[in-house]
């Protein structure tokens, strides 16, 4: 079976397509609408958005207009990074559902451990409060899985120690050259599934000489090597493109990178 049709299973038994379409920096309106429609037309069944991307309404509209049953598409959104309260999280979730025009969401994540405007700020209590609201929504059936994003081991422990449900997912930046081994090992230990955003290093990895040499060896593109790398590591890549040819290419990763070549890719240092 092609990778685009394959699923990972989260700790609560919910299944999630292995490859998702990232929509960070995809503009609301026609761009987001056409991008999501194009991905769905080409076999994607996993769409990743966020309140902070300001494109939920267009994403939701494209999903509806695709004609594909809602329950065949896995949709993620994220609580805005500055919302660190119980009531704030409940309210923001309702706004997300309204924007998407959905009855339920597949996955809802705390976007970051701190507001993007105050990176590094300690928000342990706020994260616990926001997560407790998400637990209530999860138990009520309005969300099928809950989790966190950009959380490092100490942020994860804060949630595990003070909340009831171990997060089902941690979505982190992950690409060749970015060492996330400590966070990934911590997630694995607690059965938290890791999703990889920016698997192409926001596009910058595509110029890397060694990755291009590896692509030539396998007869694929550099983008396909980057995406396949994340899959070989057991993570779910969320490549973003607004171009149909690239959307198709990024899901066409039905090859395996040999362990000795993974070891070469593991040694590449981020050069930007
Ligand atoms: P575009 O949207 O114009 O296609 P990441 O997923 O790591 O965040 O990378 C996204 C960036 O990489 C975007 O700038 C996107 O541009 C570009 N990109 C995505 N897929 C490909 C591809 N297959 N070939 C070249 N560039 C790509």
Strand, helix or coil for residue 76: strand
Query: Rounded to whole angstroms, how far apart are CA atoms 217 and 211?
Result: 10
Pocket test for ligand 1, best of 237, 239, 245, 247 (most atoms within 8 A of CB): 239
pLDDT, tens only, 132-191? 999 999 999 999 999 999 999 999 999 999 999 999 999 999 999 999 999 999 999 999
Query: Would you state the structure tokens that stand for residue 104, as one six-digit string?
Result: 């339920």
State the distance from the centre of ligand 1 to the C-alpha of 241, rounded, in angstroms.
5
CB atoms within 10 A of CB 176: 25
pLDDT, tens only, 79-110? 999 999 999 999 999 999 999 999 999 999 99
State the distance from the centre of ligand 1 to the C-alpha of 38, rounded, in angstroms.
15
104 is catalytic: no
pLDDT of residue 208: 95
- pLDDT category at 28 given cuts 50, 70, 90 is very high
pLDDT of residue 271: 61
pTM exceeds 0.95 for this model: yes
- Contact status, residue 59 vs residue 240, Cβ threshold 8 Å: no
| Mean local confidence (pLDDT), 218-241 | 98
Pocket test for ligand 1, best of 39, 46, 173, 203 (most atoms within 8 A of CB): 203
Q: Which ligand 1 atom is at minimum distance from the Cα of 35?
A: 2
Of residues 115, 133, 36, the one with CA closest to residue 75: 36
Contacts of 247 (CB under 8 A, 6+ apart): 21, 35, 38, 39, 42, 44, 241
If you take atom 16 of ligand 1, which residue's CA is the nearest one?
Answer: 241
What's the chain's average pLDDT? 97
Q: Does position 272 have pLDDT exceeding 70, yes or no?
A: no
If you take atom 15 of ligand 1, which residue's CA is the nearest one?
Answer: 241
Q: Which ligand 1 atom is at minimum distance from the Cα of 239?
A: 6
Ligand 1 binding pocket (C-beta < 6 A) is 22, 198-203, 206, 223, 239-243, 246, 249-250
Of residues 196, 138, 192, the one with CA closest to residue 169: 192
State the distance from the centre of ligand 1 to the C-alpha of 205, rounded, in angstroms.
10
Q: Does position 42 have pLDDT exceeding 70, yes or no?
A: yes
pLDDT of residue 270: 72
pLDDT, tens only, 47-80? 999 999 999 999 999 999 999 999 999 999 999 9
Q: Does position 4 have pLDDT exceeding 80, yes or no?
A: yes
Query: Would you state the structure tokens that stand for residue 208, as one six-digit string?
Result: 């890397």
User: Residue 139 CA to chain centroid, in angstroms?
Assistant: 22
State the distance from the centre of ligand 1 to the C-alpha of 110, rounded, in angstroms.
25
pLDDT of residue 269: 85
If you take atom 1 of ligand 1, which residue's CA is the nearest one?
Answer: 241
Q: Which listed residue (53, 131, 174, 229) is catalytic?
A: 53
Q: Does position 115 have pLDDT exceeding 70, yes or no?
A: yes
How far CA 48 is from CA of 130, 154, 231, 250, 266, in Å, comes to: 20, 25, 17, 15, 26
State the distance from the centre of ligand 1 to the C-alpha of 226, rounded, in angstroms.
11
């Amino acid at each position: 079976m092609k990778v685009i049709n394959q699923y990972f299973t989260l700790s609560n038994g919910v299944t999630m397509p292995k490859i998702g379409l990232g929509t960070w920096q995809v503009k609301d309106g026609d761009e987001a609408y056409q991008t999501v429609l194009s991905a769905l037309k080409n076999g994607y069944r996993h769409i990743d958005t966020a309140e902070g991307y300001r494109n939920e309404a267009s994403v939701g509209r494209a999903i509806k207009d695709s004609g594909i049953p809602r329950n065949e598409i896995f949709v993620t959104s994220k609580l805005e990074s500055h919302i660190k309260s119980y009531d704030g999280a409940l309210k923001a979730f309702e706004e997300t559902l309204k924007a998407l025009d959905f009855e339920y969401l597949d996955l809802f994540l705390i976007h970051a451990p701190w507001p993007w405007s105050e990176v590094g700020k300690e928000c342990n209590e706020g994260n616990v409060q926001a997560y407790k609201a998400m637990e209530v929504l999860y138990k009520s059936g309005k969300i099928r899985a809950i989790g966190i994003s950009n959380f490092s081991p100490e942020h994860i422990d804060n949630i595990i120690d003070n909340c009831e449900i171990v997060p089902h997912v941690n979505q982190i930046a992950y690409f060749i050259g970015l060492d996330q081994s400590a966070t990934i090992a911590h997630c694995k230990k607690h059965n938290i599934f890791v999703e990889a955003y920016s698997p192409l290093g926001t596009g910058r990895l595509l110029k890397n000489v060694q990755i291009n040499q590896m692509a030539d060896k396998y007869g694929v593109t550099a983008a396909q090597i980057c995406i396949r790398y994340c899959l070989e590591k057991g993570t779910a890549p969320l490549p973003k493109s607004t171009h149909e040819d690239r959307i198709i290419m990024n899901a066409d990763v039905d090859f395996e990178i040999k362990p000795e070549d993974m070891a070469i890719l593991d040694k590449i240092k981020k050069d930007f």
